[in-house]
Structure 1
């Protein structure tokens, strides 16, 4: 497996747009807080590293990954946002709950993006276990929160051009 041998959060091969002119919303799930907190730190760091101003980053917390959908919808009622980043973590358990939540969150986030015609970024880890989540929240596979931030910057830039 290729992902087991490298950090996936390497952006050295692309030019990331300047985030300075854009306003970002971040919706972060409180469930699995150790993971989502690390994703949030990665997202903020990624935005600021590429020029986003602290006052142009709005963060709201929601109970769990399912509620990311409503959180994104709430933020996008304010049309000043250029992109929304949704951060969560769903870890496989013993029941099919995992499948239902992951499917609903992916579809819901897509629907919110289409409803508002704005980039809504899927920064939700869907892992088999806690270690896989830790590896993707600042561990050996990088930080998916930072990746979500880079995606938000790139999509806000593209959206502003068209």
Structure 2
């Protein structure tokens, strides 16, 4: 199981952070699960008014996350899913999303939650989407990671 060894951390108060969640629209059931997981994490971390936007697909995540980071958000969470097919399209989209989101984090020094599932099958995606019966909740995990990183970046900047 890919979640083996995940860190155990308790939610901290992040009510003072400006947070945006950007979610792709493809694979509705999986995306709704990821978004629900992100919303659970936002509630657990006391974030009451996040900006939530939808984009057409995973390829579009970096450019919208970049715009939100440039607008001053402390944390941006990117949620998407790419399921392998019979063409190299999977590789191109996964690489573009990963590289683009990494650039957003480094170029803006902003926490970026990487909630992009890159799966071989629909079943793998559903198992990670935080749905009833899923073994993992990647929407929650990506959001929690972004919030904890944003809090850490704030402490570093204050030193």
TM-score (norm 1): 0.89
Tell me, in whole angstroms, the C-alpha distance in 1 between the residues paired with 2:101 and 2:59.
10
How is 1:17-28 mapped onto 2 (pairs within 5 angstroms)?
Answer: 17-28=12-23
How is 1:76-155 mapped onto 2 (pairs within 5 angstroms)?
Answer: 76-79=69-72, 81-138=73-130, 139-155=133-149
Consecutive aligned runs of 4 or more in structure 1 exceeding 4 Å deviation: 7-11
C-alpha displacement of 1:30: 0.5
5+ residue gaps in structure 1? Answer: none
Please tell me the root mean square deviation across aligned C-alpha atoms, in Å.
1.8
5+ residue gaps in structure 2? Answer: none
Count of matched residue positions in the alignment of Structure 1 and Structure 2: 154
Give the 3-state SS of the residue equivalent to 1:142 in structure 2.
Answer: coil
TM-score (norm 2): 0.90
- The answer to which structure, 1 or 2, has the higher relative contact order (CA under 8 A, 6+ apart) is 1
C-alpha displacement of 1:16: 3.0
Residue of structure 1 equivalent to 2:58: 65
Tell me, in whole angstroms, the C-alpha distance in 2 between the residues paired with 1:160 and 1:38.
29
C-alpha displacement of 1:64: 0.3
